[in-house]
Amino acid sequence: MPPSGGDDNIQPVDLKAALEERYLAYALSTIMHRALPDVRDGLKPVHRRIIHAMSEMGLRPNSSFKKCARIVGDVIGKFHPHGDQSVYDALVRLAQDFSQRYPVVDGQGNFGNIDGDNAAAYRYTEAKMTEVAALLLEGIDQDAVDFRPTYNEEDEEPGVLPGAFPNLLANGASGIAVGMATSIPPHNAHELCDAALHLIRHPKAPLEDLLFDPANPQRGGIEGPDFPTGGIIVESRASMLESYRTGRGGFRVRARWSVEDLGRGGYQIVVTEIPYQVQKSRLIEKIAELLIARKLPLLEDIRDESAEDVRVVLVPKSRSVDANILMESLFKLTELESRIPLNMNVLSMGRVPRVMALNEVLSEWLAHRREVLQRRSRHRLAAIDRRLEILGGYLVAYLNIDEVIRIIREEDEPKAMMIERFALTDVQAEAILNMRLRSLRKLEEFEIRTEFDALSKEKAEIEALLASDDKQWQAVAWEIGEVKKKFAKATELGKRRSTFADAPDADIEAIQQAMIEKEPITVVISEKGWIRALKGHISDTSALQFKDGDALKVAFPAQTTDKILVFTTGGKVYTLGGDKLPGGRGHGEPLRIMVDMENDQDVLTALVHDPARKLIVSSAAGNGFVVTESDIVANTRKGKQVMNVVMPDEAKLVVPTKGDHVAVVGDNRKMLVFPLAQIPEMARGKGVRLQRYKDGGISDIRCFTMAEGLTWEDSAGRVFTKTKDELVEWLGDRAGAGRLVPKGFPRSGRFSG
């Protein structure tokens, strides 16, 4: 007989079948136990085990720090049978405030930096939990979640944490499994709580209602990702909505920058925030490589002046370089603009990997919070029942104190005798036997009755809670409300770091235009549509000459690098380059030579293009809407139709938006004041009614800040201001008729000054 373990015990198997079986086991292990987070607590197993191990070590937020070596040792020894370095790397990431929007671990020592430098070895660093980790664990000792045996069955570990904090969306997650991956950007906890509370109140609410609506800011909701490193998100609302609906998409994030004036026309650009997960040192190296390769002709030099905060200085080639175009070229060529992917592939209920929409993620988290509430309530109810049973026995003992003392002193089996004599339970009899003599006083009886009544009341409340779905959701909403207060936007940790802006796509032509010498000009357009550009900024236009029968329509200062937007009475917008305008000699050229403008249309007005600005466009009949300037830039001679008007109506007013209210004056000299937010934002259309008229139409519009009041100037140059209290009689809703204008208002019916 061959010895055990010899070659004769080797069984041949099919290689293909063996590989398939073993790779499938590996794939399932990677998906279920390594790479994908649980939708309920937002944690992967290694993170959950780190937090649980720290909890068992007593590393609460108010405790002292302990060496990371001890934490890592406990994690790999008790819960996580993997390498120490992988566990330490996971621990370090949980402590990095540039990786985690809401750090779960409070680290002391060198935990790495945004340059990509590694953390110090775990024998040098120390850590404990933050308030976020404490919230994730809240109720874990009250049977809130199920525990399971660890890998060696010597201990138990939670399968999921109670998760009072919306960790999955607040801190995000990323991971690569077999055949699938996940990538979830971090969000603002205050906004997530807003959305969750709305979902509790309206369980069937559409996804749109969970997102922040600029037209209804009081409702709150999720504006979009909120990255720990800040930055500016330049993704459109429609694109973000689609990403959240499908669970797949992405967000364009740009660095935050500003221009520092150096005097004498010189400036430098300072980058103070870079996109999420971009290493600053690698970014600077990339820009330096492009400089050496002469692929950034607009940039002279780059300096890293960062200390604790990011400060990267970009020096332009010359003072004539347009800072915006320089940055657009850098956004196009470097990681100063990055796309953060969204792939909400998570473990549903800890078992099934699937891509979920935003509202599904929140719904599963809320369902988990309700289950935790139920389990904690049942656990508390059981504890109350046990205590009430004991207190009931104490009360029987006090009512029969002499007999109880006699039984204890004289009977051989006092426990059995008390159970028989007073119909006590075994637990009650044991509790009575364990009472101290000092407890046999009248005050103690009063305290027991007080405790009994209080626990009975609490029991009734918990039973009512468990019997009512509405009360359970009210309790969950209260808990979420407390989290919302803790991470309110007024707090340092809770305030939003990433902001939103529109960012037009830069192209090679725009970069080339930056080489144009930046010079001041004055754009002049006549009533009959002749256009010219005078050198320099001219404030006095009275000396300008025009053809017979013609006069000044509009004149304004600009730069040769500016884009000029020309609006027509037909509702169209044409875009002209400041450097392409005819010179100031003579009367200029007809605008119709430069663009394809219809013969039945006239110039309404013109202005310098500001991509960040919004405009109110209005027809003579009083219809209007808000449009973003970046959406109306026309790149062809044909222009872009912005306002749809039908004769005899025509476009009449183009007013930049500012402040929070709008004052509209009609030809009937009636004025109406209403919130700017009541005017919808559109890319093109007829608009909505701004003011109601029986006869005539609109005369003028002015945007203003209500707190500063409404100001105008009469023909004599006198300035009038109406305060908020004085404007009450003109304040109403859009499409109202309004009231006659205040005393002192210009007879022309138009604001001036």
pLDDT in tens, 566-617: 999 999 999 998 878 988 778 889 999 999 998 888 999 999 999 889 999 9
User: What's the pLDDT score for residue 1?
Assistant: 45
Whether the CB-CB separation of 158 and 144 falls below 8 Å is answered with: no
Query: Based on the domain organization, do 422 and 474 belong to the same domain?
Result: yes
- Whether the per-residue pLDDT at 31 is higher than 90: the answer is no
- Whether the per-residue pLDDT at 73 is higher than 60: the answer is yes
Banded model confidence at residue 333, pLDDT cuts 50, 70, 90: confident
User: What's the pLDDT score for residue 29?
Assistant: 67
CB under 8 Å to 673, separation ≥6 — which residues?
A: 661, 662, 663, 664, 710, 727, 730, 731, 732, 738
What is d(CA 744, CA 721) in angstroms, rounded to the nearest whole number? 10
| Closest by Cα among 466, 469, 467, 468 to 203 | 469
Query: Based on the domain organization, do 533 and 643 belong to the same domain?
Result: yes
Residue that the structure tokens 């392409």 belong to: 580
Catalytic residue of the set 23, 26, 124, 151: 124
Helix (H) or strand (E) holding 50: helix 45-56
- Whether the per-residue pLDDT at 730 is higher than 50: the answer is yes
Query: Based on the domain organization, do 570 and 436 belong to the same domain?
Result: no
Banded model confidence at residue 508, pLDDT cuts 50, 70, 90: low
Banded model confidence at residue 220, pLDDT cuts 50, 70, 90: confident
Assigned domain for 508 exists: no
- Whether the per-residue pLDDT at 551 is higher than 50: the answer is yes
User: What CATH number does the domain containing 329 carry?
Assistant: 3.30.1360.40
Assigned domain for 4 exists: no
CB under 8 Å to 44, separation ≥6 — which residues?
A: 34, 35, 36, 37, 38, 90, 173, 175
Whether the CB-CB separation of 355 and 344 falls below 8 Å is answered with: yes
What is d(CA 22, CA 20) in angstroms, rounded to the nearest whole number? 6
What is d(CA 745, CA 670) in angstroms, rounded to the nearest whole number? 11
Assigned domain for 544 exists: yes
What does the pLDDT average to over 718-744? Answer: 91
Query: Based on the domain organization, do 404 and 520 belong to the same domain?
Result: no
What is the model's pTM?
0.66
CB under 8 Å to 134, separation ≥6 — which residues?
A: 60, 61
Which phi and psi angles does 255 have, rounded to 5°?
-65, 150
The alpha carbon of residue 416 and the mean position of all alpha carbons in its chain are separated, in whole angstroms, by 66
- Whether the per-residue pLDDT at 7 is higher than 80: the answer is no
Residues 170-187: tens digit of each pLDDT: 999 998 887 788 999 999
Assigned domain for 353 exists: no
User: What's the pLDDT score for residue 749?
Assistant: 87
User: What's the pLDDT score for residue 320?
Assistant: 84
Sign of CA dihedral 238, 243, 244, 245: positive
124 is catalytic: yes
Last residue of a domain, one of 159, 181, 203: 159
CB under 8 Å to 539, separation ≥6 — which residues?
A: none
How many beta carbons lie within 10 A of that of residue 465, not counting itself?
A: 17
For the chain, the maximum distance between any two Cα atoms, rounded to a whole number of angstroms, is 130
Query: Based on the domain organization, do 327 and 371 belong to the same domain?
Result: no
User: What's the pLDDT score for residue 444?
Assistant: 76
Query: Based on the domain organization, do 328 and 416 belong to the same domain?
Result: no
Assigned domain for 529 exists: yes
| Closest by Cα among 165, 130, 140, 152 to 43 | 165
> Rg of the Cα trace of the chain?
36
Last residue of a domain, one of 291, 316, 335: 335
Return the amino acid letter for 66: K
Whether the CB-CB separation of 435 and 397 falls below 8 Å is answered with: yes
User: What's the pLDDT score for residue 580?
Assistant: 84
Decide the pairing of beta strands 499-500 and 232-233. parallel
* DSSP assignment string, 412-440: SSHHHHHHHHH---HHHHHHHHT--GGG-
What does the pLDDT average to over 160-164? Answer: 96
What is d(CA 658, CA 707) in angstroms, rounded to the nearest whole number? 13
Q: For the sheet with 698-704, list strands across it.
A: 698-704, 661-666, 670-675, 739-740
| Closest by Cα among 664, 707, 715 to 689 | 664
* DSSP assignment string, 693-705: -SSS-EEEEEEE-
| Closest by Cα among 687, 659, 684, 685 to 673 | 659
Residues 130-153: tens digit of each pLDDT: 999 999 999 999 999 999 999 999
Mean of the per-residue pLDDT values of the chain: 90
Assigned domain for 54 exists: yes
Residues in the chain: 753
- Whether the per-residue pLDDT at 445 is higher than 80: the answer is no
Query: Based on the domain organization, do 378 and 310 belong to the same domain?
Result: no
What is d(CA 708, CA 127) in angstroms, rounded to the nearest whole number? 50
Assigned domain for 56 exists: yes
What is d(CA 712, CA 675) in angstroms, rounded to the nearest whole number? 19
| Closest by Cα among 238, 568, 287 to 224 | 238
Per-residue CA distances from 118 to 96, 112, 209 (Å): 11, 5, 42
Q: What percent of the chain has pLDDT over 70?
A: 95
- Whether the per-residue pLDDT at 497 is higher than 60: the answer is yes
- Whether the per-residue pLDDT at 432 is higher than 90: the answer is no
Last residue of a domain, one of 159, 191, 208: 159
Banded model confidence at residue 394, pLDDT cuts 50, 70, 90: confident
Query: Based on the domain organization, do 80 and 131 belong to the same domain?
Result: yes
CB under 8 Å to 406, separation ≥6 — which residues?
A: none
- Whether the per-residue pLDDT at 512 is higher than 70: the answer is no
Assigned domain for 234 exists: no
- Name the DSSP letter for residue 88: H
The alpha carbon of residue 302 and the mean position of all alpha carbons in its chain are separated, in whole angstroms, by 31
Sign of CA dihedral 420, 422, 427, 430: negative
Decide the pairing of beta strands 719-722 and 661-666. unpaired
Banded model confidence at residue 203, pLDDT cuts 50, 70, 90: very high
CB under 8 Å to 145, separation ≥6 — which residues?
A: 158, 159, 160, 161, 162, 372, 375
User: What's the pLDDT score for residue 732?
Assistant: 93
34 vs 476, residue with greater confidence: 476
| Closest by Cα among 41, 44, 37, 35 to 179 | 35
Q: Look up residue 8 and give its two tokens.
A: 């004769």
Q: Please tell me the number of Cα atoms within 13 Å of 83 on its side-chain side.
A: 4
The alpha carbon of residue 227 and the mean position of all alpha carbons in its chain are separated, in whole angstroms, by 8
What is d(CA 321, CA 300) in angstroms, rounded to the nearest whole number? 11
User: What CATH number does the domain containing 432 carry?
Assistant: 1.10.268.10
Helix (H) or strand (E) holding 69: helix 68-74
* H helix and E strand count, the chain: 19, 35
What does the pLDDT average to over 510-537? Answer: 79
* DSSP assignment string, 619-657: ETTSEEEEEEGGGT---STT-EE-B---TT--EEEEEE-
Helices 414-422 + 401-410 axis angle, to 10: 150
User: What's the pLDDT score for residue 515?
Assistant: 44
Which phi and psi angles does 524 have, rounded to 5°?
-125, 125
Whether the CB-CB separation of 329 and 269 falls below 8 Å is answered with: no
**Residues 12, 15, 21, 23, Cα dihedral to 10°:** 140
Whether the CB-CB separation of 289 and 272 falls below 8 Å is answered with: no
Domain span at 598? 516-740
How many beta carbons lie within 10 A of that of residue 265, not counting itself?
A: 10
Cis geometry, peptide bond prior to residue 214 (ω within 30 degrees of 0): no
Query: Based on the domain organization, do 430 and 530 belong to the same domain?
Result: no
Q: What percent of the chain has pLDDT over 90?
A: 65
Which phi and psi angles does 518 have, rounded to 5°?
-80, 115
- Whether the per-residue pLDDT at 243 is higher than 90: the answer is yes
Residues 111-124: tens digit of each pLDDT: 999 999 999 999 99
Query: Based on the domain organization, do 714 and 611 belong to the same domain?
Result: yes
Banded model confidence at residue 275, pLDDT cuts 50, 70, 90: very high
Per-residue CA distances from 425 to 315, 421, 431 (Å): 85, 11, 10
Query: Based on the domain organization, do 424 and 328 belong to the same domain?
Result: no
User: What CATH number does the domain containing 49 carry?
Assistant: 3.90.199.10
- Whether the per-residue pLDDT at 355 is higher than 90: the answer is yes
Query: Based on the domain organization, do 459 and 557 belong to the same domain?
Result: no
Residues 676-719: tens digit of each pLDDT: 999 999 989 999 999 999 888 999 999 999 999 999 988 778 88
- Whether the per-residue pLDDT at 437 is higher than 80: the answer is no
Banded model confidence at residue 80, pLDDT cuts 50, 70, 90: very high
- Whether the per-residue pLDDT at 2 is higher than 60: the answer is no
Instruction: Tally the domains of the chain.
Output: 4
CB burial class (10 A; 0-12, 13-18, 19+) of residue 437? exposed
User: What CATH number does the domain containing 636 carry?
Assistant: 2.120.10.90
CB burial class (10 A; 0-12, 13-18, 19+) of residue 363? middle
